């Protein structure tokens, strides 16, 4: 039977204590989640991607839930994209017209990492540095969701080379649930393998955990190097996702 969940703590309980539901989904819920079996569906948006739908649970239950929602006209009219627990994408595709997208992972840390080599080179960046940040992102991390100083509460840091050029950067900003989230972790191609990405991530993570008791981030699943960096700094509670745009969106 289709259920509705209207309270954040109830949602976390239904999801088995999921860290993603705890730290990424805003409380209170703006819209109830729909649940069937072990699957749940919840409208989701980020700073850069509105009008999404999150689907969690085993494939058979996800398919049953989505079938009921489609029949009952419970799928949001303005739906533009879906984020689906890895393994359930085919079940969703049987009910919604999916287009391109990516596979990614969400992780969180609740303990500050130890100081790492190169961290002393990390400096705070401000609005005066926005042109350099954008230029670095454009050449070294064009798929990032980071938008320098376009959202309140951003804390950018970076590393400069001996000649003063910006060669690494990253940002800590509140997600829509209000918890620290890292984005835009970027190192210029000429400086990769020198530990600068590790240093930037460690600095931002330490600040986030010290401030809020948690720090979260997302990464593209094909980036094995980033995964080693993040897990080495204590990130875990990994949630694997497949996000796809709707073909009609």
What is the full DSSP assignment across 155-214? EEEEEE-TTS-EEEEEEEEE-TTSSEEEEEEEE-GGGTTSSHHHHHHHHHHHHHHHHHS-
The parts of the chain modelled with pLDDT lower than 50 are none
Q: What is the pLDDT of residue 70?
A: 97
pTM score above 0.85:
yes
Supply the pLDDT for residue 50: 87
Per-residue DSSP letter, 220: E
41-73 per-residue burial string, b: 16 or more CB within 10 A, e: under 16: bbbbbebeeeebbbbbbebebbbbbbebbeeee
Q: What's residue 249's pLDDT?
A: 53
Query: What backbone torsions phi and psi does residue 172 show, to the nearest 5 degrees?
Result: -115, 125
Cβ atoms of 201 and 116 within 8 Å: the answer is no
Q: Which two tokens stand for residue 76?
A: 């949001």
Burial class (CB in 10 A: 0-12, 13-18, 19+), 162: exposed
- Report pLDDT digits (tens) over 21-39: 999 999 999 999 999 999 9
Instruction: State phi, psi for 127 to the nearest 5 degrees.
Output: -55, -25
SS3 for 74-130 is CCCCCCCEEEEECCCHHHHHCCCCEEEEEEEEEEEECCCCCCCCCHHHCEEECHHHH
Cα 245–chain centre separation = 16
DSSP strand pairing (180-187 vs 166-174): antiparallel
pLDDT at 211: 96
pLDDT at site 185: 98
């Amino acid at each position: 039977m289709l259920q509705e969940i209207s309270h954040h703590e109830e949602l976390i309980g239904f999801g088995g204590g999921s860290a993603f539901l705890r730290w990424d989904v805003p409380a209170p819920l703006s819209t109830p989640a729909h649940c069937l079996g072990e699957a749940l569906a919840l409208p989701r948006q980020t700073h850069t991607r509105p009008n999404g739908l999150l689907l969690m649970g085993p494939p058979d239950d996800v398919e049953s839930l989505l079938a009921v929602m489609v029949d009952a006209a419970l799928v949001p009219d303005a739906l533009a994209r879906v984020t689906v627990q890895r393994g359930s994408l085919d079940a969703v595709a049987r009910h919604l017209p999916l287009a391109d997208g990516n596979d990614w992972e969400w992780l969180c840390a609740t303990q500050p990492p130890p100081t790492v080599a190169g961290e002393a080179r990390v400096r705070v960046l401000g609005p005066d540095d926005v042109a350099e940040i954008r230029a670095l992102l454009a050449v070294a991390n064009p798929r990032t969701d980071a938008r320098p100083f376009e959202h309140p509460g951003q804390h950018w840091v970076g590393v400069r080379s001996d000649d003063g050029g910006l060669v690494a950067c990253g940002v800590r900003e509140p997600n829509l649930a209000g918890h620290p989230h890292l984005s835009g972790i970027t190192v210029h191609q000429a400086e990769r393998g020198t530990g600068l990405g590790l240093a930037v991530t460690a600095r931002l993570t330490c600040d986030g955990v010290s401030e809020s008791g948690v720090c979260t981030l997302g990464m593209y699943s094909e980036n094995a190097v980033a995964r080693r960096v993040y897990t080495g700094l204590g990130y875990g509670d990994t949630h694997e996702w497949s996000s796809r745009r709707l073909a009609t969106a």
